[in-house]
């Protein structure tokens, strides 16, 4: 079986391609820009090209049994694009529709699409489930929802079998964004005024996500389904910082501070969204995929954080805004 993976050299893509190769699968990767050879992301073959246009889909899909569509425009903390919604829609919706149409025309059966829990919403005191009505609150979540609908529309008139996965925040070796920034702050010993936060957030380790993707590719019961994913343990922001600090071998410098004042400070400096993710709750019920596909997270939180900390200290010491 040959699997086509878009975004093969990304954070999730690298972990998935390695897991697929370990499982004895042949992997063809699509990347926007060539970054060395195929072995760099555990692929038998690399095809470079822009999924938004110009990619030779006949070549890319020749001999392909299943697709894992990871490529997309990720959540951007400081988005300077004049029209963020249009920029997200071009990559997340239009490119997904183009891929799904080409896959259907080429007779590909299974297409796994990595969506996001942001389709459900940005916060939840009660765990989200697949039964909840989508309530995306930002361009990223909105376009992931639109992409899901585009995929289902094409599947309705073809033999394509879509499977949609909605993970929460993904962490692990190679992580970027706010998770990496938080690790840097802990490593540098910066005091964090987050000790008074009482919340609960679901996460998923990248190795667990890769396992769930493989399960969704293999099992007939997954065809046409949407699954929410999460690790076994939800965790509060202060406890996450303590756990990260322990694995980094650093003290957790947590200070008490009223959350309401933190929110006001976030508004004043234009960081409301980032602070909301630290202060609020977002919980996920992943019972459906566990019942229907028998998927279970293989890695516990402590193990995932340990592997992430090991990567953090081994990575090239290059400062980045990512």
Kindly list the catalytic residues. 140
Residue pointed to by tokens 């992580």: 175
Between CA 137 and CA 207 the distance in angstroms is 28
Alpha helices in 157-199 (DSSP H): 177-187
Residue 96 token pair:
């997904």
Between CA 75 and CA 53 the distance in angstroms is 21
**Phi, then psi, of 99 in degrees rounded to 5:** -65, -45
Helix, strand or coil, per DSSP, at residue 227: strand
Between CA 12 and CA 5 the distance in angstroms is 10
Question: What angle do helix axes 237-248 and 177-187 make, rounded to 10 degrees?
Answer: 60
Between CA 20 and CA 34 the distance in angstroms is 20
DSSP annotation string for 280-299 = S-EEE--HHHHHHH----SS
Residue 261 token pair:
């004042």
């Amino acid at each position: 079986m040959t699997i086509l993976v878009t975004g093969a050299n990304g954070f999730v893509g690298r972990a998935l391609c390695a897991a697929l190769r370990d499982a004895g699968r042949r992997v063809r990767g699509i990347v926007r820009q060539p970054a060395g050879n195929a072995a760099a992301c555990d692929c038998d073959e690399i095809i470079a090209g822009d999924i938004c246009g110009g990619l030779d889909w006949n070549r890319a899909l020749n001999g392909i049994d299943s697709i894992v569509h990871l490529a997309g425009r990720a959540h951007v903390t400081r988005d300077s694009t004049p029209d963020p919604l249009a920029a997200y829609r071009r990559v997340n919706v239009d490119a997904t529709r183009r891929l799904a149409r080409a896959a259907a025309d080429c007779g590909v059966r299974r297409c796994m699409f990595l969506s996001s829990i942001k389709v459900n919403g940005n916060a939840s005191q009660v765990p989200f489930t697949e039964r909840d009505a989508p309530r995306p609150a930002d361009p990223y979540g909105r376009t992931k929802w639109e992409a899901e609908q585009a995929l289902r529309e094409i599947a309705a008139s073809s033999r394509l079998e879509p499977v949609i996965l909605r993970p929460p925040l993904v962490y692990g070796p190679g992580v970027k964004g706010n998770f990496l920034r938080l690790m840097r702050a802990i490593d540098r010993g910066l005091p964090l005024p987050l000790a008074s936060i009482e919340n609960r957030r679901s996460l998923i380790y990248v190795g667990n996500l890769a396992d769930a993707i493989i399960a969704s590719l293999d099992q007939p019961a997954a065809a046409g389904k949407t699954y929410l994913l999460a690790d076994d343990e939800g965790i509060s922001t202060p406890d996450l910082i303590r756990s990260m600090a322990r694995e980094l071998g650093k003290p957790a410098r947590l200070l008490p501070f009223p959350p309401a004042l933190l929110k006001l400070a976030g508004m004043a400096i234009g960081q409301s969204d980032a602070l909301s993710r630290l202060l609020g709750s977002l919980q996920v019920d992943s019972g459906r995929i566990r019942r229907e596909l028998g998927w279970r997270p293989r890695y516990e939180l402590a193990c995932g954080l340990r592997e992430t900390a090991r990567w953090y200290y081994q990575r090239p010491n290059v400062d980045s805004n990512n």
